[in-house]
Amino acid sequence: MTAVTPDNTKATASADPTPASGWTVADAAELYRIDRWSDGFFHVNESGHVAVRPFENSDLSIDIMDVVSELRRRGVRFPTLLRFQDVLRARVQRLSRAFAEAIREFGYQSPYRAIYPIKVNQLHEVVEEVLDAGKPFGLGLECGSRAELVATVAHLNSDETPLVCNGVKDRRMLSLVLSMQELGKNVIPVMEKYAEFEELMDIAAERGVATQFGVRVRLRTAGAGKWAESGGYQSKFGISLPELLKVIERLEESAAGHRLVLMHFHLGSQIAQITQLKQAAKELAQTYAELISAGLPIQYIDVGGGLGVNYTGGFEEGQINYGLQEYANSVVSAIKEVCDDRGVPHPILMSESGRAMTAHHSVLVVEALGAFQKDRADPDIALPEGASRTLQRMYELLEWLRTSGDREIRSRELIEAYHDVVEFHEDAHTMFNMGYLSLRQNALIERMYWSSCSAILRRLRLLEPHPMPPEYDQLQELLVDHYLIDFSVFQSVLDHWAIKQPFPIVPLDRLDERPTRRALLVDMTCDSDGKITEYVSSNDDKKFLELHPLEPGEPYCLGIFLVGAYQDIMGDAHNLFGRVTEAHVYGDAEEEKNFWIEKVIPGTKVKEILAQVQYFPNGLQQRMQDLIKAKIDAGTIRPSRGIAILDQYIACFDDETYLENDPKAKGRMT
């Protein structure tokens, strides 16, 4: 673990590598690829701010900096997660409309019903919003665990709303499912394993009722990509073909009237290749046709989740190679083709497209606490008396770089100089370890090392040799700024840490100004993995993000986009950073700034996160009281001072877990 200490954040300003001229907001949109990942929801406005267009068929635009200002006015601190509930609604509608369009185009004879798998974001308000937006389209829900089952069954106001119950289920869960069916609700438990089916049959027999259910079929077709282990023979779940035949035999034997109504597969999240999905859909449709012909009352084909979101807006390896409409077209056409060939009716289509419904609607707003710049030109380096030979040679090299004109040194010589600098730096390290170099001289070597590297990189940029030597990339990476950001990767963008998923990150302000710094974002955790290493940008090198230099006294806000799916619910409490504050924002043309904030949910307090690990205010207070009392008794401090320290400690229980960012504070450097 390496901590970013406040000391690291002290740096001096340096010359910007590029002039700030000829830059427009369109250049910013291009640099951060906003048009390519935003699906039309985000853009850069005239003021150089990122803005949201939350509605379909309306130009209404909300400046995110206006939302930030309003939240600040209310005393809300950052990081804060903004939920644009209208974007959530729009995504739900787009999905259903894409299928409606495909159904119309291919002449498919049954409807489509989107199913919201709540595991993607179980927040009550999100589930309600999705349900409400999906009502006209007959949207249903999906649950995959006991707690999710308990949450979702309570949402079944309409008897029509389907609830698909995936995941492994025990007797108590299956029994609750049967009770919901008894109430007339359209709950469909999906048999993940053969044994689960036997269990369901037993419980139904005990209660003397007939049940409806679905099966998850284990297909040969497997998904591909970062998430792909849910399909294929190796998948954790699913009923094999021989087992499916056993299910059918059991149903035929029984006179209870149980109904197999749904067939399901799930290839895994973020399906990369659309052909894979088509293949799987055809494979399932063939099985469906067979079972329909055998007289089974199957109504639904559920193609599971996996409808991808293109986070980078690019065509990099592993990125999805299709859009929403192509996905819908593929599912509809593949299933129609098989059904028509086999002369069976078209089933009602379902997809459990969680990520695609929710990813776009939330934006995490974070603030930079400081920037540590390594490419500083250090003007007052002087050679001390009795400098070692390495020190002298390093100094000469630096002087040579300093005194020669920008284009006087050829790029080959620059590279040679870089190799020397690296060697001197190494030598100094060895000498220091062996006790031959003083701390003072070693510190001077450090300063000269960074100064020389900066000078070399700056000139290489000016010369632009073709091809750029590999040393150029090394220098870029070496000299990248570290921007210290008040958030935790593990709490707020867990997939970045777990599977290197890049998320678009854009400054919310100053986009009319050329960003001149190359930055790496590091978080607040004391974990060397607590940083962002993959960025979305038009740069060839995606290991850094271009940002603006911090202005003294001015907060610098960044938006981390497309975090509405999975991130906030999977986030963990590494280093006891808790959930961030949340604000639910709605667009409204009648409002002065085109929005209103419906709700602010405060972030986790120190006392709440501590309770999760069994520390409670009373106990902590008692311990601290005893500690202080001992010092009072020993005469180390006066009683009044002891009580003041105790009060100070107690006040911390109600703080949020993130930092209080004061742009004017001393530790902040630009």
DSSP letter (8 states) at residue 2: -
Q: Tell me the DSSP string of 145-166.
A: SHHHHHHHHTT--SSS--EEE-
Q: Which is nearer to ligand PLP, 347 or 354 (CB)?
A: 354
Q: What is the rounded distance in angstroms from the CA atom of residue 427 to the CA atom of residue 420?
A: 10
The token pair at 448 is 């000269």
Q: Which is nearer to ligand PLP, 305 or 578 (CB)?
A: 305
Q: Which of 155, 193, 266, 574 binds ligand PLP (CB under 6 A)?
A: 266
Check if the beta carbon of residue 67 is closer than 8 Å to that of residue 583. yes
- Of the candidate spans 248-256, 351-359, 382-390, 434-442, the one that interacts with ligand PLP by CB under 6 A turns out to be 351-359
Q: Which of 196, 199, 352, 656 binds ligand PLP (CB under 6 A)?
A: 352
* 329 makes contact with ligand PLP (CB under 6 A): no
* 495 makes contact with ligand PLP (CB under 6 A): no
Q: Which residue is nearest to ligand PLP (CB)?
A: 305
The three-state secondary structure class of 225 is coil
Closest approach, Cβ 142 to ligand PLP, in A, equals 6
* 166 makes contact with ligand PLP (CB under 6 A): yes
* 232 makes contact with ligand PLP (CB under 6 A): no
Nearest to 297 by CA among 218, 202, 212, 180: 212
Binding mask 114-153 for ligand PLP (x = CB under 6 A): ---x-xx-----------------------x---------
- How do 557-560 and 581-587 pair as beta strands? unpaired
Question: Hunting for tokens 């009392």 — which residue is that?
Answer: 629
Q: Tell me the DSSP string of 612-630.
A: HTT--HHHHHHHHHHHHHH
Question: Which H/E stretch holds residue 505?
Answer: strand 505-507
The three-state secondary structure class of 487 is coil
- Of the candidate spans 56-64, 353-361, 547-555, 592-600, the one that interacts with ligand PLP by CB under 6 A turns out to be 353-361
Nearest to 420 by CA among 385, 387, 464, 455: 455
Q: Which is nearer to ligand PLP, 85 or 166 (CB)?
A: 166
* 353 makes contact with ligand PLP (CB under 6 A): yes
Q: Which is nearer to ligand PLP, 148 or 509 (CB)?
A: 148
Nearest to 167 by CA among 183, 180, 149: 149
- Of the candidate spans 112-120, 241-249, 327-335, 514-522, the one that interacts with ligand PLP by CB under 6 A turns out to be 112-120
Q: What is the rounded distance in angstroms from the CA atom of residue 304 to the CA atom of residue 121?
A: 16
DSSP letter (8 states) at residue 185: -
* 476 makes contact with ligand PLP (CB under 6 A): no
Which residues, in sequence order, are CB contacts of 389 under 8 Å at separation 6+?
A: none
Q: What is the rounded distance in angstroms from the CA atom of residue 310 to the CA atom of residue 204?
A: 44
Count residues near ligand PLP (CB under 6 A).
16
* 355 makes contact with ligand PLP (CB under 6 A): yes
Q: Which is nearer to ligand PLP, 48 or 144 (CB)?
A: 144
Q: Which is nearer to ligand PLP, 77 or 169 (CB)?
A: 169
* 269 makes contact with ligand PLP (CB under 6 A): yes
* 282 makes contact with ligand PLP (CB under 6 A): no
Report the interface residues with ligand PLP, using CB under 6 A.
Answer: 117, 119-120, 144, 166, 266, 269-270, 304-307, 352-355
